[in-house]
A and B are shown apart, each in its own frame.
Chain A
Amino acid sequence: MKKMASLLLAMSLTFSLAACGGNNNSSESSNSGEGSTNTQTNAGTNVKEEDAKPVTLRMAWWGSQPRHDYTLKVIEMYEKEHPNVKIESEYANFDDYWKKLAPQAAANELPDIVQMDISYLAQYGQKGQLEDLTPYLNNGIDTSNISENSISGGKLGDKIYGFNIGVNTMNFQYDPELLKKLGVDKPSDDWTWEDYFALASKAKEAGLYFDGGMRPEVFFGYYLRSKGAHLYNADGTALGYEDDQMFVDFFKPLANLVKEGDTPPPDVKAQIKGLEDDMLVKNKQVGIWQWTNQFVAIQQVANRSLEMAHMPGPGRNEGLYLKPSMYFSISKNSENKEEAAKFIDFWVNNVEANKLIKGDRGVPVNTQVAEGIKSTLDPAQVQVFDYVTWAQENSSPMDPPDPVGTAEIIKLFAGLAEQMDFQKLSAEDAAKQFRKEANAILAKNKQ
C-alpha cells in the first residue's frame, strides 16, 4: 500500500517535471527562433535596433474579440519594426481581467504593460504597483502633439501612473425619430435641467421611456462641477461638496421620473441582458446618457442613425470634461520599463497603428494622429471624434482620477440610487446617508 502511495507521488512528480520541461523548451525555442529570423529580414532597415538585446514584454488588456484582433495586429506591426522585441499578450474580458490582475500584483508578477481603468488607477498606482511615467515623457514617449491636459488625466498627486491613450466625454445619445414623438426635433444646444425634466416627463404618454437613468457617480459628478463643487475633495479624503441640497436637487427629479414611469425602474433595467436587448435598441426608449466611446457600439446594434445632444446646463463648460477612456501603465516590477515606454510611444503616436485602432480605446490624445486617421473612420466614429473635438474647446480640466475607495463608493451610491428609484428612500435621507458613509470610506485615505 505504501508502494501505491509512493507511486502516486512519483506519478505527480513526473507530471510536474514533464510539464516543466515542455514549457521552458517551447517558450525558449519560439523566442530564439522568431528573434533570429526577424533580425535577418529586417537587417539594414534599422541598424540601431539590430544590436539591441532581445527583450520580451508582457502586455495585458481587457476587451472583446474585435479589440483583441486589432491589438494583436498592432503588436505584430511593432515587432516588425523592433525585431529584438517580442510581446506576449495576455487578454481577457473586463471581469476576468481584474480577477487576474489583483493576485499578479500581490505576487509582483504584473505584466510590463498593463491596461488601466480610471477606477483602479489610484488603487494600483498609489499602492506602489505602477511606475511613475514622468521621467519617460519626451524621453521614450514623445508628447509633442499631446496636450498637457490629456497627460495629466493620469496624474495622481505629482505622479503619472497611467498614460492616457484615448479620451471620452459624456453626452445624451438618442434616436431623433423617437424624440419627434414627444414633439421635439432635437434638444436645444443650451437646454437646462428643467428643460430635460420637462421633456422627459412626456415620455410615458408617448408609450416610451425617455432614458435609462444616470450613473450616479458620473452624472452627479458632472452636476456638482457645473455648480462649482466636486464629488471628491482635492486629495480624495472627503466629499468635495458641502450642501446636501445639491444632492436632493439632482436626485429627487430623477426618482420622480422613475415614479411617473418616464424612465425605467431598476427591476426593468435588471432584465436587460446586453446591448442587443437595450430599450433604445428595441425602440422603447428615446436615448441614453453615457460616454461617447459607447456611441459606436449602440449605433451599430440599433442599426439606425442616432444623434448626440449636449449635457444640460447651466454651467456646462465648467461641468464637462474629457475623461481618459483607458490608460497604459508600466508595472513597477517590470524589468524592461524603457522598452515598455517605447511601445506606449508607438501606440499613441504612430498613425498607421491608429488606423487599426480606430479610436476604439477613446479618441487619440495625439491631435495629429486623430486628424490623420479620420478619413478611415465610419460615420459613427467620425461623429464621436467631432464631438470630442468640440468638447475640447467647451470643457474644463478633469478632476484628479478617482481616489482609493471609489469602488466602494460607487456601490454605495448605486445602492442608494436604487432605493430612491424604488421610492423606498427619500432624496433627503439618501443625501445624509451618502455623506456619512462616503466620508467614512474616504477618511481611510488620510494617513
Chain B
Amino acid sequence: MIYPVIWLLMSSFKPSEQIFQTAGSLIPTDWIWTNYSQGWEGIGGHSFGVFIKNSLVLVVLATIGAVASSALIAFGFARLKFFGSTFWFGVMMVTLMLPHDVTLVPQYIMFSKIGWLNSIKPIVIPAYFGAPFFIFLMIQFIRTIPQELDEAATIDGCGKFRLFYRIILPLIAPALATAAIFSFYWRWEDLINPVLYLNKPSMYPVSMALKMYLDADTLSNWGAMFAMSIVSLVPVVAVFFAFQKHIVEGISTSGLK
C-alpha cells in the first residue's frame, strides 16, 4: 500500500543518476542530503519555501471559500422547497460533466477581459461560489439526517438560517471535513489553473515548481524533484491528519440530542 511512498522517500536520498539504475533495490547505497539542499534552493532564485507559501495562500483561501459556500448551497437544495430547484440542481450536475479542456480557452479570454490574468483571482474567487462536487456530497449527507429534527427545531422557533447553522452544520461535520481534505489536496496538486493564470515564477505554486525540475529535452534533476515531492507532501498529510479526526467525531459521538 505505501510501498510507493517509501520508494519515493528512499529515492530522495539517492543521486539523480542512480534513481533508475537502482530502482529495484530500495535502500540507497550511500545516503545523500544534497537533493534536499539543492531542491530547497528552488529555481530561478526563488527558494522552494516561496512556492510552498504561494500554494498555501492559494489553497487555504480556495478551501475556505469552497467548503463554506458549498454547505450553504447544499442546505438550500436538500431542505428547502422552491421553484426551479430541480432545474438548478440539474445545471449543477451538468457543470460537473463538461470537460474543462474546452471551457478553458473561453474562460481565459473572459478573465483576460476583466484584467484578472497573472493573479490568483481566477483560481480563488470562483471557489467562493460553491463547488458542485462538494455541494452534491453535502446534499447527500443532509438527506441522511432525519427530517423530524428540522421540524422540531422549526417548532422551537428556529429560522431557516439558524436551523442550518445550529442544527445541520454540526451534524454534517464529517462531510465538511471530507470536503476540506479534498479541496485542500485537489488545489494543492492542481496544475492547469496555475499554469494558465500565473506567469511570474515568483507566484508559482508547488505543483508547478515540481515540474520545473524536469524537462524532456534536457537534463532533469530527479533527485531534487523527489526530495521536494516529499517536502510538499508534508502539508497535505498534516491537513489530512488534522481533519480526519472530525470524520470520527461525526453524528455517532456528537449524538442526537
Whether the complex brings A and B within 8 Å at their CB atoms is answered yes
Q: Taking the complex as formed, is B218 at the interface, i.e. its CB lies under 8 A from any CB of chain A?
A: yes
For B219, give its contact among A5, A15, A92, A301 (CB under 8 Å): A301
Task: Take A15-B61, A106-B108, A273-B20 as given contacts and tell me if A91 and B117 are in contact as well, using a CB distance cutoff of 8 Å.
Answer: no
A8 contacts B212, C-beta separation under 8 Å: no
Task: Take A15-B125, A92-B195 as given contacts and tell me if A1 and B161 are in contact as well, using a CB distance cutoff of 8 Å.
Answer: yes
Interface SS of chain B: helix
Chain B residues in 8 Å Cβ range of A62: 215, 217
For B109, give its contact among A4, A93, A94, A107 (CB under 8 Å): A107
Interface SS of chain A: helix
Q: Taking the complex as formed, is A16 at the interface, i.e. its CB lies under 8 A from any CB of chain B?
A: yes
For chain B, the bracket of interface size reads: 35 or more
Task: Take A89-B201, A92-B195 as given contacts and tell me if A107 and B108 are in contact as well, using a CB distance cutoff of 8 Å.
Answer: yes
Q: Taking the complex as formed, is B144 at the interface, i.e. its CB lies under 8 A from any CB of chain A?
A: no
Q: Taking the complex as formed, is A243 at the interface, i.e. its CB lies under 8 A from any CB of chain B?
A: no
Chain A residues in 8 Å Cβ range of B129: 12
B200 contacts A88, C-beta separation under 8 Å: yes
Task: Take A8-B72, A89-B44, A303-B17 as given contacts and tell me if A63 and B219 are in contact as well, using a CB distance cutoff of 8 Å.
Answer: no
For B196, give its contact among A4, A103, A360 (CB under 8 Å): A103
A109 contacts B112, C-beta separation under 8 Å: yes
For A94, give its contact among B195, B208, B217 (CB under 8 Å): B217
Within 8 A of A (CB), among B150-200: 159-161, 164, 191-192, 195-196, 199-200
Q: Taking the complex as formed, is A33 at the interface, i.e. its CB lies under 8 A from any CB of chain B?
A: no
Q: Taking the complex as formed, is A102 at the interface, i.e. its CB lies under 8 A from any CB of chain B?
A: yes
**Cα distance A345–B211 when bound, in Å?**
31
Chain B residues in 8 Å Cβ range of A92: 195, 208, 211-212
A96 contacts B211, C-beta separation under 8 Å: yes
Chain B residues in 8 Å Cβ range of A300: 219
B195 contacts A100, C-beta separation under 8 Å: yes
Q: Taking the complex as formed, is A275 at the interface, i.e. its CB lies under 8 A from any CB of chain B?
A: yes
Q: Taking the complex as formed, is B54 at the interface, i.e. its CB lies under 8 A from any CB of chain A?
A: no
Question: Closest chain B residue to A22 by CB distance?
Answer: B119
**Cα distance A294–B43 when bound, in Å?**
22
**Cα distance A393–B89 when bound, in Å?**
70
**Cα distance A103–B103 when bound, in Å?**
11
Q: Taking the complex as formed, is A183 at the interface, i.e. its CB lies under 8 A from any CB of chain B?
A: no
B201 contacts A90, C-beta separation under 8 Å: yes
Within 8 A of A (CB), among B1-50: 16-17, 19-21, 43-45
A276 contacts B218, C-beta separation under 8 Å: no
Q: Taking the complex as formed, is A194 at the interface, i.e. its CB lies under 8 A from any CB of chain B?
A: no
Q: Taking the complex as formed, is A65 at the interface, i.e. its CB lies under 8 A from any CB of chain B?
A: yes
Q: Taking the complex as formed, is B246 at the interface, i.e. its CB lies under 8 A from any CB of chain A?
A: no
Question: Closest chain A residue to B218 by CB distance?
Answer: A64
**Cα distance A294–B217 when bound, in Å?**
8
Within 8 A of B (CB), among A116-138: none
Chain A residues in 8 Å Cβ range of B43: 65, 68
- The minimal Cβ–Cβ distance linking A298 to chain B, given in whole angstroms, is 10
Question: Closest chain A residue to B107 by CB distance?
Answer: A103
Chain B residues in 8 Å Cβ range of A106: 105, 108-109
Q: Taking the complex as formed, is A181 at the interface, i.e. its CB lies under 8 A from any CB of chain B?
A: no
Question: Closest chain B residue to A103 by CB distance?
Answer: B108
**Cα distance A123–B180 when bound, in Å?**
42
B215 contacts A11, C-beta separation under 8 Å: no
Binary flags per residue of A286-318, CB closer than 8 Å to B gives 1, else 0: 000000001001001101000000000000000
A58 contacts B211, C-beta separation under 8 Å: no
**Cα distance A446–B124 when bound, in Å?**
44
**Cα distance A90–B212 when bound, in Å?**
12
For A15, give its contact among B20, B72, B124, B212 (CB under 8 Å): B124
A94 contacts B215, C-beta separation under 8 Å: yes
For A91, give its contact among B196, B201, B220 (CB under 8 Å): B201
Binary flags per residue of B89-123, CB closer than 8 Å to A gives 1, else 0: 00000000000000011001100100001111100
Q: Taking the complex as formed, is B77 at the interface, i.e. its CB lies under 8 A from any CB of chain A?
A: no
Task: Take A11-B128, A103-B108 as given contacts and tell me if A64 and B45 are in contact as well, using a CB distance cutoff of 8 Å.
Answer: no
Q: Taking the complex as formed, is B69 at the interface, i.e. its CB lies under 8 A from any CB of chain A?
A: yes
Question: Closest chain B residue to A64 by CB distance?
Answer: B215
B121 contacts A19, C-beta separation under 8 Å: yes
Q: List 6 additional contacts besides A67-B218, A297-B218; criterion CB under 8 Å.
A: A1-B161, A12-B65, A96-B195, A99-B196, A104-B108, A276-B222
* 13 sampled A-B residue pairs with Cβ under 8 A: A12-B129, A16-B121, A64-B215, A65-B212, A90-B199, A91-B44, A92-B195, A92-B211, A92-B212, A93-B212, A95-B211, A106-B108, A297-B219
Q: Which residues of A contact B (CB under 8 A)?
A: 1, 3-5, 8, 11-12, 15-16, 19-20, 23, 58, 62-69, 72, 88-96, 99-100, 102-104, 106-109, 273-277, 282, 294, 297, 300-301, 303, 360
